[in-house]
Amino acid sequence: MSRMSRRETRAAILPASVGMALGLVILAAAQTANAATYEVGPDKPYTRIGDVPWAYLLPGDTVLIHWRSTPYQEKWVICRQGTVEAPITVRGVPGPSGELPVIDGNRAVTARGLNYWAEARGVIKIGGANIPQDTMPKFIVIENLEVRSAKPPYTFTADDGTTQKYTANASTIYLEKGENITIRGTVLHDAGNGLFVASSDTEVSRDILIEGNSIYDNGNVGSIYEHNSYTAALGITFQYNHYGPLCAGCGGNNLKDRSAGQVVRYNWIEGGNRQLDLVEVEDSVVIRTDPRYRETHVYGNILIEPAGAGNRQIVHYGGDGRVRNYRKGILFFYHNTVVSRRTDRTTLFRLSTNDEHADARNTIFYATASGNTVSLLDVSGVLDLTHNWIKPGWVKSFGNFKGTVNDDGTSVGGASPGFVDEAGQDYRLAAGSAAIDAGTGLHPRVLPANDVLEQYVKHLSGEDRPDAGPLDIGAFELTP
Ligand SMILES: [Ca+2]
Ligand SMILES: [Ca+2]
Ligand SMILES: [Ca+2]
């Protein structure tokens, strides 16, 4: 895949000593004792997912779930540990036309031999159990599945044989606790929270990678409390995901997060009450006291607000509960392309208090309606603006403004940014766009870890961002 190319390039230029160390790691992985592959599917050794010995998985084990014409109506817990060299992998094997195997939560039956709690919270749970013995799940990869249908009125058969109903906040994948967990290339839909990652004071989920997933049609009608994804972790990266609208009449946000060390980059996020709701951690003092809690990175994303899609605010940063727990830090927001098709008003940022600060640079803020329908902020916060594209006529706020906007006057604008095909949602820049070569250098504090090295490829992938003179404003760089 194209998004691997940069990593391959990096590997190719590693010093010989590191290359040798990697060689040893690969050797160690090859020698992992008795790493097993369990194949599930028609004409495979295991007909049912529940036949896999989930309670006994070891480092390096792989479960391959093959596509079949009917969904698997099964559910299970993963409460085991892989290692950095030998993760435990659960991988779907697509059908002849690329169809992902479907795990359907409705009327799903729990895999035999497991005994665990919170079964009504998800189809696949990564978290605690009685059988197998409880542990912190580690080094687990789930990829290439479609997981769906976890909310009322859907029901399932629990480990004790009873029929139960999912809770309103149930998820396709419920990550109750885990470390070094990857969820990749998976379709998550028709649940309360499409994806849920939890943390508490005693058990903190950490080092979570959410990449290349399609997440849409989640939430509950008439409720603002369930979201396409809802996460709290220490170290979480979202990349190459395609977030679509929630279910019709569902009032939740698209990506809601309460983490420290959060990176949202190279995603396509369309619809939702808010596209990004980045608020305070509720339960975990471990997360709240981590220095990374004060810095949030959002870059290289395409954020789209359809007409009439709930709240007019695109990004909420700070908190929505106890003010003393708010993020009270800085949101680094750069090289995003924001498109609003609202016919009323659009507000780009709600910074919860004047202790919340955003640095917005090299970003396209485009509303199809007239410029005076756009406000940068709600009523508070400190916003530094440099080298953005924004339609003339914007205002700081539509409310009783008590914040600060520091505008260095370097932004450009016009009637439209000059996309390749606006109606067709191709938001790459066409020749002649005022955004070309109009960017500036990144904030020194985001380098080197959060440099903009890639750009989103529609859909679910990424590629190297071209090196083409001064940086273009927005999520895409034009190659001359
Ligand atoms: Ca149980
Ligand atoms: Ca909205
Ligand atoms: Ca350029």
The per-residue DSSP string of 262-305 comes to EEEES-EEE-SSSSEEE---SS-HHHHTSGGGGEEEEES-EEEE
Residue 214 · residue 460 · CB < 8 Å: yes
Ligand 1 centroid–CA 240 distance in Å is: 35
Ligand 2 centroid–CA 258 distance in Å is: 19
Ligand 1 centroid–CA 355 distance in Å is: 44
CB-based burial, 18-38: b 16+ in 10 Å, e otherwise: eeeeeeeeeeebeeeeebeeb
Q: Which ligand is nearest to the CA of 480?
A: 3
288 pLDDT higher than 80: yes
**The predicted structure's pLDDT at residue 448:** 97
Mean pLDDT across 296-324: 97
Mean pLDDT across 105-115: 97
Q: Which ligand is nearest to the CA of 344?
A: 2
Question: Considering the chain, what percentage of its residues have pLDDT values greater than 90?
Answer: 92
Residues with CB under 5 A from ligand 2 (ion): 309-311
Ligand 3 centroid–CA 463 distance in Å is: 16
46 pLDDT higher than 70: yes
Residue type, 47: T
Residue type, 35: A
Ligand 2 centroid–CA 469 distance in Å is: 35
Mean pLDDT across 458-474: 97
Mean pLDDT across 131-153: 98
For residue 368 the two structure tokens come to: 């199809």
**The predicted structure's pLDDT at residue 480:** 77
**The predicted structure's pLDDT at residue 4:** 35
Mean pLDDT across 37-58: 98
Residue 188 · residue 196 · CB < 8 Å: no
Q: Which ligand is nearest to the CA of 130?
A: 1
Mean pLDDT across 268-294: 96
- Least confident window among 20-24, 259-263, 429-433, 447-451: 20-24
Mean pLDDT for the chain overall: 94
Ligand 3 centroid–CA 210 distance in Å is: 29
Quick one: pLDDT band at residue 392, thresholds 50, 70, 90? very high
Q: Which ligand is nearest to the CA of 437?
A: 3
**The predicted structure's pLDDT at residue 12:** 34
* Cα–Cα separations (whole angstroms), residue 170 to 105, 122, 175, 466: 10, 5, 11, 41
**The predicted structure's pLDDT at residue 283:** 79
Ligand 2 centroid–CA 378 distance in Å is: 14
317 pLDDT higher than 70: yes
Ligand 2 centroid–CA 347 distance in Å is: 9
**Residue 106 burial (CB < 10 Å; 0-12/13-18/19+)?**
middle
Ligand 1 centroid–CA 49 distance in Å is: 18
Quick one: pLDDT band at residue 2, thresholds 50, 70, 90? very low
Ligand 3 centroid–CA 445 distance in Å is: 22
**Residue 145 burial (CB < 10 Å; 0-12/13-18/19+)?**
buried
110 pLDDT higher than 50: yes
Q: Which ligand is nearest to the CA of 350?
A: 2
Mean pLDDT across 377-382: 98
Quick one: pLDDT band at residue 20, thresholds 50, 70, 90? very low
Mean pLDDT across 329-345: 98
Distance CA 159, CA 165 (A): 13
Q: Which ligand is nearest to the CA of 313?
A: 2
25 pLDDT higher than 50: no
Q: What is the pLDDT of residues 178-200, one digit of tens each?
A: 999 999 999 999 999 999 999 99
Q: Which ligand is nearest to the CA of 455?
A: 3
**The predicted structure's pLDDT at residue 33:** 63
**The predicted structure's pLDDT at residue 244:** 98
Residue type, 2: S
Ligand 1 centroid–CA 135 distance in Å is: 16
Mean pLDDT across 356-378: 98
Ligand 2 centroid–CA 429 distance in Å is: 24
5 pLDDT higher than 70: no
Quick one: pLDDT band at residue 32, thresholds 50, 70, 90? low
Q: pTM higher than 0.95 for the full model?
A: no
CA 41 to chain centre: 29
Ligand 1 centroid–CA 83 distance in Å is: 27
Residue 110 · residue 129 · CB < 8 Å: no
Q: Which ligand is nearest to the CA of 161?
A: 1
Mean pLDDT across 418-444: 98
Residue 351 · residue 318 · CB < 8 Å: yes
For residue 424 the two structure tokens come to: 């067709």
Distance CA 57, CA 89 (A): 10
Helices (H), 282-395: 285-288
Element containing residue 18 per DSSP (H, E): helix 16-30
Quick one: pLDDT band at residue 34, thresholds 50, 70, 90? confident
